[in-house]
Amino acid sequence: MTEDRATLRRRDVLRGVTLGSSALILGGCDAMNENATFRSALRAAEKLNQATHRTLTDRATLAPEFALSDISPVFKTNGSLTGTSTDYLAHLQNNFADWRLRIDGMVANPINIGLEALRAMPARTQITRHDCVEGWSAIAQWQGTPLRLLLQQARLSTRAKYIVFHCADNYGARPYYESIDLIDAFHPQTILAWGMNGETLPVKYGAPVRLRVERQLGYKHAKYVMRIEATDDLSKFHGGKGGYWEDVGDYEYYAGI
C-alpha cells in the first residue's frame, strides 16, 4: 500500500494548491460542526423544516402513488436482511403461524393480533416510492393494515404523543426501533405492510410486517415489527432520540427531507 500511496500523492495535483486555502474554511467548518451552540442552531432549522412541511401539507395529504408499470425491477435491499432475535427465528421456522403483534403502552385496550387476523382486517394497497437517506429510490407495491385502525381498536390514550415500533432485528449490536408522531401514525398511507408486489412480504424486506410511512425517508420504515408501543416520552427508549439511526448516526427525527 505504501507504493499506492506514493502514486496517489504524486497524482494528487490539486491537493497542494487547495489544501492551503481550503484548510482555513474546512478547519473552521469542522470546528463549527463540533460546536454545541452551532449544532443546536442547525437543529433549529430542522424544526423549521418540519413546521414548514406540516404547514404546506394537510394531515391527510397523500404521498404520490405510482402505476404498476413504474415498479422497480429489483427493489434494493438495505439494513438488516432478517430478524435476529431467538423469538423471531423460531417464528420464521414456523412461517409466523404463532406470531403475535402486540400493541400496548398508553392504550386502554392492549391488542395481541396474529398475522391471519391482521390480514383479515380492512387493508390498503399502494404503489409508492421508497427514498433512502443516502439518495437512492425504489418503487414497490405495498399491501397492509392501516395503523390507525389498530390504534383505534386499542383505544389510544389522549396523552400519547408517539408510536414506537420495536423490531426483531439487531443492526450492529443494537436492537432496531423507530417511532413516529400521531400525525404520521394516523395518516391514511401509514400501514403495517404484510404484502409486497402482490406477494407475501419477503423476509429480506421485513416479514412478517414492516411499517410504511410514506412521507418520510427509509430509515423510518421499521422492518420486522414485533411490538407497537404508545408513549408520551421517547427519552426512555434506547438512546432516547426516537429511533436507531437517530441514536447511532445522529440522523434527524423528522425525516421528511
Sites of contact with other proteins (CB under 8 A)? 1, 4-5, 7-15, 18-19, 22-23, 25-26, 29-30, 33, 39, 41-46, 48-49, 53, 56-57, 61-64, 66, 70, 72-76, 129, 131-139, 214-217, 249-252, 256-257
Shortest Å distance, C-beta 202 to other proteins: 15
Surface-to-core class of residue 5, CB atoms within 10 Å of its CB (0-12 exposed, 13-18 middle, 19+ buried): exposed
What are φ and ψ of residue 103, in 5° steps? -120, 115
Query: Is the separation of the CB atoms in 212 and 141 below 8 Å?
Result: no
Residue number, 61 or 152, with CB nearest to other proteins: 61
Shortest Å distance, C-beta 49 to other proteins: 6
Could you list the beta-strand ranges (E) of the chain. 100-105, 111-114, 124-131, 137-146, 162-171, 174-181, 191-196, 199-200, 210-212, 225-231
Shortest Å distance, C-beta 101 to other proteins: 26
Surface-to-core class of residue 220, CB atoms within 10 Å of its CB (0-12 exposed, 13-18 middle, 19+ buried): buried
Shortest Å distance, C-beta 256 to other proteins: 3
Residue number, 26 or 117, with CB nearest to other proteins: 26
Cα angle: 243, vertex 84, 176; to 5 degrees: 0
Residue number, 117 or 136, with CB nearest to other proteins: 136
User: CA 46 to CA 161: how far, in whole Å?
Assistant: 19
Rounded to a whole number, what is the largest CA-CA distance in the chain?
A: 69
Shortest Å distance, C-beta 224 to other proteins: 21
Cα pseudo-dihedral 203, 213, 173, 88, rounded to 10: -40
DSSP character for 133?
T
Shortest Å distance, C-beta 12 to other proteins: 4
Cα angle: 102, vertex 107, 108; to 5 degrees: 110
Determine the straight-line distance between the first and last CA of the chain, rounded to whole angstroms: 40
Residue number, 224 or 245, with CB nearest to other proteins: 245
Query: Is the separation of the CB atoms in 115 and 123 below 8 Å?
Result: no
Shortest Å distance, C-beta 205 to other proteins: 13
